[in-house]
Structure 1
Amino acid sequence: MEGDGGVQLTQSPDSLTEEDVCVIQDTWKPVYAERDNAGVAVLVRFFTNFPSAKQYFEHFRELQDPAEMQQNAQLKEHGQRVLNALNTLVENLRDADKLNTIFNQMGKSHALRHKVDPVYFKILAGVILEVLVEAFPQCFSPAEVQSSWSKLMGILYWQMNRVYAEVGWENSKK
């Protein structure tokens, strides 16, 4: 996996089965209980392996050392924000209207306000999966668990691309 963003773009929002939803929600509980550490671990891995992503974060774009990143208050705060957003998705997997609202808000914010290239959602999705497998092997080692989470990350990326297209991302970044 290696945090390469190896998430399929073709996952449509209806591709999660009820079994996938149950697996995702069950395996998410221990992660969310450790959300502060998990959020930092995800972002440190993301920024260490993909330093170009730091360009969007003025408060920690100059940080190079992973230990320094782990101590940065703004990075910790953003890690919490990422995990809280993921928690909101996980909690609402059976509510298509709520998910649509979440994806629209997240996509518009990142496209229009922050001007984040959508490829970083794909990369971050791969990093999240990589960190979860390493940090929570008791939950994330089975292949079916990884498959369910890969579907969810694919949906996230697909939805972000949908919203970016709707807001005219190609035109707005010029």
Structure 2
Amino acid sequence: MLSATEKELIVQIWEKMLPVAEDIGSEALLRMFTTFPKTKTYFAHLDISPSSEHLRSHGKKIVQALAEGAKNISTLTTTLAPLSRFHAYQLRIHPTNFRLLNHCLLVTLACNMGENFTAVAHAAVDKFLSAFSAVLSEKFR
């Protein structure tokens, strides 16, 4: 799956994103809602307009979860088990939506990291997001 170098790079990237978690997360979510409008269905009870508190708060939670997953990449299944159960059984998020968000996160990182988002970084983050999504999707029925 991921080499030791890629794992280290992923940890570094998400640690750099933590201070701007609200910005990165909300931008990725807004990008997803704009590009894939059906994903708004899960957020009908929240104000998901640009710069809204709900959007920024949820975006921050996403980036924090990704950073936590990056730190515990060797035990990703165990680390994300509560989140997986929550998204599958309570929120009933269809796994396709995780892949859509992954794409939007990649674009957001590329826009915000500029030249630091190299092809190697892109490939590593893409692999990580795929693994992260696979774990979140495990409990979905």
> 2:32 and 2:16 mapped to 1: Cα distance?
21
- 1:84 Cα deviation after fit: 1.0
Q: Superposition RMSD on alpha carbons, in Å?
A: 1.4
Q: Which position in structure 2 is the counterpart of 1:121?
A: 98
**Residue number among 57, 63, 66 corresponding to 1:83 in the alignment:** 63
More helix by share: 2
Deviation by residue 1:67-94 (Cα, 9 ceiling, x = unmatched): xx22311111111111111111112124
Deviation by residue 1:31-89 (Cα, 9 ceiling, x = unmatched): 222112111111111111111111111113xx5xxxxx223111111111111111111
**What's the TM-score, normalizing by structure 1?**
0.75
- Structure 1: runs of 5+ lacking an equivalent: 1-14, 64-68, 170-174
Deviation by residue 1:3-25 (Cα, 9 ceiling, x = unmatched): xxxxxxxxxxxx11101111111
Contact 1:31/1:136 (8 A) holds in 2: no
| Structure with bigger RCO (C-alpha 8 Å, 6+ apart) | 1
- 1:102 Cα deviation after fit: 2.7
Report % sequence identity.
22
Contact 2:26/2:59 (8 A) holds in 1: yes
Aligned pairs, number: 140
Task: Report which stretch shifted further, 125-134 or 30-39.
Answer: 30-39
Q: Which position in structure 2 is the counterpart of 1:102?
A: 79
| Greater C-alpha radius of gyration | 1
- 1:115 Cα deviation after fit: 1.1
Letter in 2 for 1:121: F
Map 1:1-174; keep pairs closer than 5 Å: 15-57=1-43, 58-60=45-47, 69-94=49-74, 96=75, 99-140=76-117, 142-164=118-140, 169=141
- Structure 2: runs of 5+ lacking an equivalent: none
